């Protein structure tokens, strides 16, 4: 049998990718599969650092298959005890062709020193082609001892090449095929099947048995079964089996191919539910960020807070730029600030912002879920759950953090714009002018109309001046009213600007909080998925 296979990636690259799969797959992949992968990595690491010049071949089989006799025939020595009525191989025996460098490998295989035997192949005529072979005679896998001793199973897993020894009566034994052969489907390059005790069959019966065995193996997933008929008693077929072993030993590839086959089989199970080409964008796009910020702003009531600020701004302006006569008249009506229950406006605004955040946890959760659902579409369900978990990993902190952040940006309502001062001074100057005109009018009426006495000046006694004074007073009232209306219009514009400024500031803060508590965990999970997907594809091929 000539062993040849060239994977797209080298075994070392694939194993490194498998280690990455184990690291990134925690919580996303079946723990049993990750445990198997970890065991494979440990086994591969140990095997690859041990003697690459030796090929470990395990003779495995059930009770009565003649496995130990075959072991003795191949080795040319009576090394392993044989029996007729009961299994006699309690511990694994090893025959080594070329001992140099084999000891650490035998130690790793846990072969006891008293069960190790050496063949000096250079001195054995015709045996030099087996130099580097370590032939193991395993305990019978179906013996009573095997029920409590896993040595056979362990070495079947560790061997580079497995030779299944079957006998004509039990070669189709269901227990052997279900437990071992089916599990090793895909290991064609490192599995050989020996139909032993062929001396009990006529040539026609042997051909029928071999054909039947090959058909059975093909049905069980062995694509190209290699079947060798032997007789440990007569020596028939032993040279053919040695030739098969010699091909494996000379190629020095069985160990690599066994690990590749184990890796191929494991990766089929690990990648079962993973799409082949799905790659997700590892960053959250601007539209989704904006959508999340919008939803969180709605959740904290940013628009309501902005509207309240706009209204409060307008109410406060009345004390500064409103028409004084209207304010004095309002003193006889209920105070609008008290009717709004504003009290300390700045503190109330902070309370308004904080209360809005705490009152809307469901909307916060809905916003976070909408983001994660949109980003994880098409991903396997377990990874979708991972994105959702990442999005929610710190979302429980959102209400409090938003409350604290937005509580710090309560507008400086104790700050008075400079033009409010100028408007107030201007209004009171007009009031003083009106009062002065009112005084002059009274004096003219007193001294000029009623002639109650001599006027202090000629002006206060001149009745002809009275229309002009009245015109001046009317003009002052008009200018004051126009000033109040113009100031009011400016206040409306300024209140709108204040609202816009506050909402922009709130949105900036909300976006920053969303980036830290939601977007960054989600992006890490998306990058983890892409890294896992890349590692998985590398490990698969």
Q: Is the pLDDT of residue 356 over 60?
A: no
Q: Is the pLDDT of residue 361 over 70?
A: yes
Q: Between vectors from CA 164 to CA 162 and to CA 167, what angle results, nearest 5°? A: 170
Q: Which tops the pLDDT comparison, 90 or 10?
A: 10
Q: Using CA atoms, how far apart are residues 320 and 423, in angstroms rounded to an integer?
A: 7
Q: How confident is the model at residue 354, as a pLDDT?
A: 43
Q: Which tops the pLDDT comparison, 230 or 87?
A: 230
Q: How confident is the model at residue 496, as a pLDDT?
A: 77
Q: How confident is the model at residue 142, as a pLDDT?
A: 64
Q: How confident is the model at residue 84, as a pLDDT?
A: 46
What DSSP line would sit under 422-468, residue for residue?
Answer: HHHHHHHHHHHHHHHHHHHHHHHIIIIIS--S--SSHHHH-GGGHHH
Q: How confident is the model at residue 266, as a pLDDT?
A: 93
Residue 524 pLDDT class (50, 70, 90 cuts): very high
Residue 78 pLDDT class (50, 70, 90 cuts): confident
Tens of pLDDT, residues 108-117: 999 999 999 9
Q: Is the pLDDT of residue 357 over 50?
A: no
Tens of pLDDT, residues 474-511: 888 888 778 777 777 777 777 777 788 888 888 888 88
Q: How confident is the model at residue 124, as a pLDDT?
A: 54
Q: Using CA atoms, how far apart are residues 266 and 12, in angstroms rounded to an integer?
A: 16
Helix (H, G, I), strand (E, B) or coil at 162: strand
Q: Which helix (H) or strand (E) holds 63?
A: none
Asked whether the beta carbons of 225 and 181 are under 8 A apart, the reply is no
Residue 412 pLDDT class (50, 70, 90 cuts): low
The listed range with the strongest mean pLDDT (88-92, 387-391, 479-483, 501-505) is 387-391
For tokens 């199970």, name the residue.
Answer: 269
Question: Which CATH number describes the domain made up of 55-235?
Answer: 3.40.50.300
Helix (H, G, I), strand (E, B) or coil at 375: helix
Q: Is the pLDDT of residue 260 over 90?
A: yes
Q: Which among 36, 251, 77 is positioned nearest to 161, based on CA atoms?
A: 251
Q: Using CA atoms, how far apart are residues 336 and 332, in angstroms rounded to an integer?
A: 12
Mean pLDDT in residue range 304-324:
70
Q: Is the pLDDT of residue 335 over 60?
A: no
Mean pLDDT in residue range 272-284:
83
Least confident of 132-141, 248-257, 350-359: 350-359
Q: Is the pLDDT of residue 81 over 50?
A: yes
- Model pTM score: 0.73
Domain ranges of the chain: 8-48+237-272, 55-235, 290-332+342-540
Asked whether the beta carbons of 397 and 513 are under 8 A apart, the reply is no
Q: How confident is the model at residue 329, as a pLDDT?
A: 64
Q: Is the pLDDT of residue 421 over 50?
A: yes
Q: Report residue 189 as tokens.
A: 């390059």
Least confident of 186-190, 405-409, 456-460: 405-409
Q: How confident is the model at residue 79, as a pLDDT?
A: 67
Q: How confident is the model at residue 305, as a pLDDT?
A: 74
Average pLDDT of the chain? 81
Q: Is the pLDDT of residue 2 over 50?
A: no
Q: How confident is the model at residue 436, as a pLDDT?
A: 84
Q: Using CA atoms, how far apart are residues 440 and 446, in angstroms rounded to an integer?
A: 10
Tens of pLDDT, residues 43-60: 999 999 999 999 999 998
Residue 410 pLDDT class (50, 70, 90 cuts): low
Q: Is the pLDDT of residue 83 over 70?
A: no
120-to-99, 309, 403 alpha-carbon distances in Å:
8, 97, 82
Q: Using CA atoms, how far apart are residues 249 and 238, in angstroms rounded to an integer?
A: 16
Residue 411 pLDDT class (50, 70, 90 cuts): low
Q: Is the pLDDT of residue 86 over 50?
A: no
Mean pLDDT in residue range 70-82:
79
């Amino acid at each position: 049998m000539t062993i040849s296979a060239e994977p797209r990636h080298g075994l070392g690259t694939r194993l490194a990718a498998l280690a990455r799969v184990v690291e990134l797959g925690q919580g996303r992949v079946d723990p049993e599969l990750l445990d198997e992968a970890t065991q494979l990595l440990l086994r591969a690491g140990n095997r690859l650092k041990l003697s690459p010049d030796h090929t470990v071949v395990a003779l495995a089989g059930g009770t009565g298959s003649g496995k130990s006799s075959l072991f003795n025939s191949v080795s040319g020595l009576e090394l392993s005890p044989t029996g007729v009525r009961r299994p006699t191989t309690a511990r694994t025996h090893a025959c080594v062709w070329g001992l140099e460098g084999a000891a650490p490998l035998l130690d790793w295989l846990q072969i006891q020193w008293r069960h190790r035997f050496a063949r000096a192949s250079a001195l054995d005529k015709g045996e030099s082609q087996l130099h580097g072979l370590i032939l193991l005679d395993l305990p019978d896998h179906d013996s009573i001892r095997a029920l409590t001793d896993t040595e056979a199973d362990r070495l079947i897993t560790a061997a580079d090449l497995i030779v299944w020894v079957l006998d004509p009566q039990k070669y189709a034994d269901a227990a052997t095929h279900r437990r071992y052969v089916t599990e090793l489907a895909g290991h064609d390059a490192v599995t050989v099947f020996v139909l032993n005790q062929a001396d009990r069959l006529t040539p026609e019966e042997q051909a029928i048995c071999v054909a039947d065995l090959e058909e059975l193996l093909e049905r069980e997933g062995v694509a190209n079964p290699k079947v060798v008929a032997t007789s440990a008693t007569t020596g028939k077929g032993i040279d053919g089996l040695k030739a098969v072993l010699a091909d494996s030993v000379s190629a020095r590839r069985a160990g690599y191919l066994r690990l590749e086959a184990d890796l191929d089989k494991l990766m089929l199970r690990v990648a079962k539910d993973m799409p082949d080409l799905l790659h997700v964008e590892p960053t959250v796009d601007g539209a989704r960020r904006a959508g999340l910020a919008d939803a969180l702003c709605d959740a904290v009531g940013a628009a309501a807070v902005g509207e309240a600020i706009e209204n409060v701004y307008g109410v406060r302006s009345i004390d500064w730029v409103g028409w004084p006569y209207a304010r004095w008249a309002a003193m006889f009506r209920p105070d609008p600030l008290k009717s709004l229950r504003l009290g300390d406006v700045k503190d109330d605004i902070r309370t308004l912002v904080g209360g809005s955040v705490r009152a809307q946890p469901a909307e916060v959760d809905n916003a976070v879920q909408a983001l994660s659902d949109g980003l994880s579409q098409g991903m396997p369900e377990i990874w979708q759950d991972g994105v959702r978990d990442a999005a929610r990993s710190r979302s429980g902190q959102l209400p409090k953090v938003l409350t604290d952040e937005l509580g710090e940006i309560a507008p400086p309502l104790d700050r008075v714009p400079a033009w409010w001062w100028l408007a107030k001074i201007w209004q009171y100057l007009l009031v003083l002018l009106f009062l002065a005109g009112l005084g002059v009018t009274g004096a003219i009426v007193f001294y000029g109309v009623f002639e109650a006495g001599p006027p202090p000046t000629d002006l206060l006694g001149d009745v002809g001046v009275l229309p002009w004074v009245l015109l001046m007073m009317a003009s002052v009232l008009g200018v004051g009213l126009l000033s109040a209306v113009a100031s009011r219009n400016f206040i409306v514009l300024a209140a709108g600007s204040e609202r816009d400024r506050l909402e922009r500031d709130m949105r900036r803060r909300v976006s920053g909080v969303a980036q830290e508590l939601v977007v960054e965990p989600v992006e890490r999970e998306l990058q983890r998925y892409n890294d896992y997907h890349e590692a998985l594809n590398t490990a698969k091929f």
